Structures are given as C-alpha cells and as structure tokens.
Chains A and B, each alone.
Chain A
Amino acid sequence: MREGVAWALHLFAGVILFFLLLFHVTQMHVALFPGWGEAALEWTNVLARAGARGWKILYLLFLAAALYHGFFGLRNVLIEISFLRRRVNEVTIVLSALGVILFAYGFYTTLATPSPMPGLP
C-alpha cells in the first residue's frame, strides 16, 4: 500500500474512532449519572447488547479502527525516533502481524457471544 493511502486511512480511522468512542462513552459511562439511563448498565442489558448483531458489528469496527490507528501510529513513532529507523519493512510486518492476531482474537471473542443471548427475556 502506498504510504499516502496508509496515512489517509490512519486519519480516517481516527475520525471513526472519535465517533465510536463518543457513542461508547455516552452509552456505557454517561449512563452512570444518577437518573439518566441507568437501565443500560444493568447486567442483563449489557449482555443483551453484547449479543446483538448491530453492537457486534459496531465493536468489530471499533476494534479494527483502534488497532489500525494505534499500530500505524506506533510504527511511525518507531521508524522515526528509534534505532529501527532503517528497518521499516521489518517493523511494518511485525506490527501488522500483531494487529491481525489481536483482531482475530477480538473477532473470535465478539462472535463467541451467542446472539441473541440465551436465557434472557
């Protein structure tokens, strides 16, 4: 992939992360304010969300964007300021492999949650 395209994707992933984080935070944490959406944090509801198809897609997107954004950023830092400056290909391959493994793990965890959750009303 061209460096410029990878860089543009990095920015794009950052923008996606911003919106998904906003969504995640407002759904999971702002609900902590008394009297405002506490039901969302009830265990059964959390489980129900984890099993819902839409949420799974959203969290997989979140995972992909976070991994790409994070690892591409880390790669750039490593090849700019470390002794790995002249090892661009090696750094890229190792971090990409790590990213793919982590994504596969996250993918498995997300899909392993039965959808819809059994035993829930």
Chain B
Amino acid sequence: MASTKQKALPETYTVEVFRFAPGEKKPRYDRFEVPVQHPGMTVLEALLYIKENLDPTLAVRYSCRMAVCGSCGMYVNGKGVLACHTRLAEFPSGKIRVSPMPNYPVVKDLMTDMSEFFTHHREVKPYIINPEMRAEIERPTREFLQTPEEVEEYLQFSYCIKCGLCVSACPTVASDPDFLGPQALMTVTRYNRDTRDGGWTYRLEVVDRPHGVWNCHFAGACTEVCPKGVDPALAIQFLKREAVVHGLGLDRLPFWPKRKQAPLAPPPKPARRKGIPAPPPRTVPES
C-alpha cells in the first residue's frame, strides 16, 4: 500500500535574499532564518516575516497575496515564480535563494522597475478598439454577442496578470532590450482575436517592425515560466502568421476567411411581466 505520509517540513528555512539599494556598488545576498509557521507557508510570507521581524528595510512588492495582481514575480532558486503562490514546501531542502526578476533594472532588493514593460504593454493598445462601435463602447447599452468558440480563441491569453515573469525569462529580451517582449506581443493576439475588436491593423503596424514580433526565436521560456498557464509563445506564432498573411495581402483575396465582427445583442424587451409593479420614479436627475 502506498504511504500517504507527507515528508515533514524543516522547522526553519534558511532564506538568502538579494539585497541592493541605489547608491550601493555591488549587490549581495543576506541570510535569514525563518521559522515555518504553518504547512502552507509561502515564500511571500517568509519574506514578510523577515520584513516584520528581522529586517524592516527589505523591499518587496506585493498586493493581493493570491496570484491575481501580478506584483510579486521573483526568482526562487533560479526559477521564476509568484512568491505568494509558491510554498516553502516546494523546497524540502530547507534552503531557498530569492532574487529579483532578471531582464529588469532593480529598484531595491526584490523590487524591479517595470516601466519599460508597461510602456511596451501600452504601445500595443491593450483594449478593445472599435471605431465603428465607438459610441456603444464608450457608453455601453447592450452586450456584444460572441459564441463560446469565439471566446475560446482568446480566452487563455486574457488570463495574463502582467506579472512580467515571461519577459524576465525571455532570452531575446536579455540580448535585445528594445524587443517588445512576450507579454506585449501576446496581448496583441489576445485583442486581435477578439471579435469585438477592430484595431488589429494598428497593432500589426506596431509589432511588424525591427525589435517586434520577428525577433521572437520561439525559445518557449515565456510559456514555461508563466504562472497563469498562458502560452505567450503560441500567441506570438499566431501573430507571425497574421502579420505575414496581412503583409502579403492574402487576407484581401476573395476566398480568404474574413474576420468576424461580434454583433450587438438585440435591445432588451421593454414589456414587463404581468404582476410586477413598475419601479418608483427617479428621485435624482440623470447625470
């Protein structure tokens, strides 16, 4: 019979933390002994223990503590992770080494400067652009209708939480800091495949250039590291195909499948069901 007994966790963890502050010449690793407080204790909890009890000057970025906000991307024993989503139990040796994400400038200790990342993200207009439906998009009255299959086309790419781990793992970003990076490129696919969107030509212009989509060598490190199961490498290959098809004008051929545009849902029926009283009149004027 297979044993269901779990291997006991070490009572304390030796946590080596990358330290660097502006003005310092060289970074270093500081070593802390952290008692394990409960079996599910995470790396972020260990770092917060250090900050609260051992060294309040430790800089670490976090917010939601539940793998949603994307703030706590860092490297533990050389692997890119969300610190709030990584248990100490994953490292039974009782020793971990925590470093900031590579490919970003370090602000302080484990905090990296993400401004370039968000510049690239903003550059691809990461939102629905639909000039023909502008009024509806700005003041929505109804929903756009999409089939489950149409949603499936982009759904996994919409799970991105902008943690930046994919960019930190990308070997092309390491050699070419001007490269748009997997997150921004993946975002283009996310919106270009959305049938509510009409901004795909603009986004293709942004990525179809040197340091754009063609610099991806399909190493796949972005997909491997992504904590949300997004496959940016796949998204980039879709994008390459889209750019080649558009660049060669194949999508203008009569037999080429045309892009779908999500229709607006029909206006809601005004009639009320019998027996349900009308709402009371407004007490405040409509703004």
Contact = CB atoms under 8 A, between A and B. Distances in A.
B175 interface: yes
B214 A4 contact: yes
Nearest to B176: A80
Nearest to A75: B210
Interface in B170-197: 172, 175-176, 178-179
Nearest to A11: B244
B33 interface: no
B224 interface: no
Nearest to A92: B210
B244 A81 contact: no
Interface string B180-224: 000000000000000000000000000011111111000000000
Given A76-B215, A80-B172, A3 B210 contact: yes
Interface residues of A, number: 13
A85 B178 contact: yes
Instruction: Give the size range of B's interface with the partner.
Output: 10 to 19
Interface of A: 2-5, 7-8, 76, 79-81, 85-86, 88
29 contacts: A2-B208, A2-B247, A3-B208, A3-B210, A3-B214, A3-B243, A3-B247, A4-B213, A4-B214, A4-B244, A4-B246, A4-B247, A5-B248, A7-B214, A7-B240, A7-B244, A8-B244, A8-B248, A76-B214, A76-B215, A79-B176, A79-B210, A79-B211, A80-B172, A80-B175, A80-B215, A81-B175, A81-B176, A88-B210
